[in-house]
Amino acid sequence: MPFIPHTDEDIRAMLATAGVPDIETLFDEIPADLRTTDFDAVPPGLNEMEVSRLLQERAAQNRPTVCFAGGGAYQHHIPAAVWEITSRGEYYSAYTPYQAEASQGTLQVIYEYQSMMTALTGMEVSNASIYDGASALGEAVLMAVRLSRRGKSSCVLLPATVHPAYRQVVATLVGDQGISLQEISYDFGSGVVEPETLESIQKDFAALVIPQPNYFGCLEEVDTLTNWAHERGALVIGVVNPTSLALLKPPGEWGEAGADIVCGEGQPLGIPLASGGPYFGFMACKQAHVRQLPGRIVGRTVDLESKPGYTLTLQAREQHIRRSKATSNICTNQGLMVTAATLYMALLGPQGLAQVATACHANTMALVKRLTALPGVEQVFEKPFFHEAVLRFPVPASRVLSVLGQGGVLAGVKLEQAYPELNDTLLVCATELRNEEDIEFYVRELTAALAG
């Protein structure tokens, strides 16, 4: 098969069908002044040696930046063994391993991943991952509405403290499926959804989404919120940061009955920050809801000789068998990312993950304490936080970002675009990677910026 899309003969055939003699005539209606044939900005081709030299020069322009930005993507230490093993040829396959003949090794990795995710979230079942955290929440919303079919409500309560990008993705995914999303506002003093706010909600709803920690880093009152939703016959969808679960109560134990569906972004578990991807979404739920969980599930069984074997189960719900009745048609399994996450969790163990979480929290506490000691810098919300906090500055947030950026500090994430009331604020984050010296560096740079 030729890799050239169309041959001269193809082009002649297409032009004949369109009824024009040549390509120039085809483009006739485009005004001449809009067309350009002279691409000054595109340099001529280079050979390998020249390209190599050019890229080295460009790479040298990158300056190391100390990262204090989070907002859904976090810089953590990744043990070298994680990607050393993940990028072995056996795992580095080119395609989502959904086929029944997928190797036992791949299936076992996914099985281990599912087991660890259920342990971490306190839930009964986990799928083998999904595209990313935002789409996992979209799928969770769709799943909750399917489950509440008997309740006949297709409204889902979505607090403003959920990641703004996630809310946009969810709106896009479910907007044309007859599902309505009702935003729940947060309390401007505490930065969380105050349970009293919910009392004004009279109408039926299928589910309440609860972020923990929320986008501002604050800890929501998950037990109260969970019970409130369950008392009204609705489901609870938890959106959680996996690192935080090493310290916080797992969603399976929220309130009297626990969350029904749990999802989130798996990036903190061994996936590097790489200009926004690839990431993976995780989804877990109660056993009773497993039939509505999108994506793949690997099960463990024994063969006729009692040897353990792993197999894809519940495939009848998958799009290649069930087509229009599939639970989802975009449940892309991020196999390679999941392999890395499985290795990350296995290498750290529950204790290691708890150490990471504890260090993140302690470092962010230290950062906030040092920064708020500077004149005019204050913590916006009074609630406890995990490893992020919102700070207000006496100068515009974009100025803080640009001045500190020039000095080599990535100072945080600006909130103003999604939350106009939070102008002059930054969401700051310190993971286990930020030591005393880094925090000192931030303080020094900010002091200079405020003085200037």
Cβ of residue 347: shortest distance to other proteins, in angstroms? 36
Q: How far is the CB of 209 from other proteins (least distance, A)?
A: 25
Residue 388, phi then psi, degrees to nearest 5: -150, 150
291 binds other proteins (CB under 8 A): yes
- Residue 101 touching other proteins (CB under 8 A): no
- Taking the complex as a whole, the smallest distance from the CB of residue 148 to other proteins amounts, in Å, to 13
Q: Which is nearer to other proteins, 12 or 291 (CB)?
A: 291
Cis peptide before 278 (omega within 30 of 0): yes
Name residues contacting other proteins, limited to 311-330 (CB under 8 A): 316-317, 321-322, 325
C-alpha 412/C-alpha 66 separation (Å) is: 10
Q: Whose Cβ is closer to other proteins: residue 318's or residue 388's?
A: 318
**Residue 144 CB, nearest approach to other proteins (Å):** 17
Torsion of CA 86, 89, 94, 95, to 10 degrees: -70
Q: How far is the CB of 37 from other proteins (least distance, A)?
A: 55
**Residue 76 main-chain phi, psi, to 5 deg:** -120, 165
Query: Between residues 315 and 372, which has the closer beta carbon with respect to other proteins?
Result: 315
Q: How near is the Cβ of 299 to other proteins at its closest, in Å?
A: 12
Reduce the DSSP state of residue 67 to 3 states and report it.
strand
> Is the separation of the CB atoms in 215 and 161 below 8 Å?
yes
If the CB atoms of residues 296 and 414 are measured against other proteins, the closer one turns out to be 296
Single-letter residue type at 30: I
Nearer Cβ to other proteins (23/316): 316
CA-CA distance, 229 to 227, in Å (whole number)? 5
The first and second tokens of residue 445, run together, are: 């740079």
State the minimum distance, in angstroms, from the CB of residue 215 to other proteins.
Answer: 36
Site track 249-278 with other proteins (rule: CB under 8 A), x = hit: ------------------------------
Q: Which is nearer to other proteins, 150 or 203 (CB)?
A: 150
Q: How far are the Cα atoms of 39, 40, 218, 320, 439 from residue 36, in angstroms, in the given order?
A: 7, 10, 53, 46, 51
288 binds other proteins (CB under 8 A): no
C-alpha–C-alpha distance, residues 296 and 278, integer Å: 19
The minimum distance between CB 48 and other proteins, in angstroms, equals 52
For the window 356-395, what string marks contact with other proteins as x by the rule CB under 8 A? ----------------------------------------
Rounded distance, CA 434 to CA 112, Å? 31
Nearer to other proteins, 76 or 317 (CB): 317
Report the alpha-carbon distance of residue 146 to residue 413 in Å, rounded. Answer: 35
Alpha-carbon gap, residue 380 to 326, rounded angstroms: 45
Q: Which residues contact 43 (CB under 8 A, 6 or more apart)?
A: none
Q: What are the φ/ψ torsions at residue 209 (nearest 5 degrees)?
A: -90, 130
Q: Which residues, numbered 135-154, are part of the site for other proteins (CB under 8 A)? A: 150
Give least dist CB 323 to other proteins, A.
9
Q: Of 75 and 327, which has the nearer Cβ to other proteins?
A: 327
Residue 260's Cβ-count burial label (10 Å; 0-12, 13-18, 19+) is buried
Give residue for tokens 């290498």.
347
Which residue, 88 or 291, has its beta carbon nearer to other proteins? Answer: 291
Q: Are 347 and 81 in contact (CB under 8 A)?
A: yes
Q: How far is the CB of 150 from other proteins (least distance, A)?
A: 7
Q: Which amino acid is at 118?
A: T
Q: Which of residues 103-132 bind other proteins (CB under 8 A)?
A: none
49 burial class (0-12, 13-18, 19+ CB within 10 angstroms)?
exposed
| Residue whose CB is less far from other proteins, 58 or 325 | 325
Nearest to other proteins of 74, 98 (CB atom): 98
Cα–Cα distances (Å) from 151 to 73, 206, 229, 235, in that order, read 36, 7, 13, 11
CB of 187 to other proteins, least distance (A): 40
Count of residues in contact with other proteins, rule CB under 8 A: 7
Q: What is d(CA 190, CA 196) in angstroms, rounded to the nearest whole number? A: 13
**How is residue 16 written in tokens?**
């004949």
Q: List residues binding other proteins (CB under 8 A).
A: 150, 291, 316-317, 321-322, 325
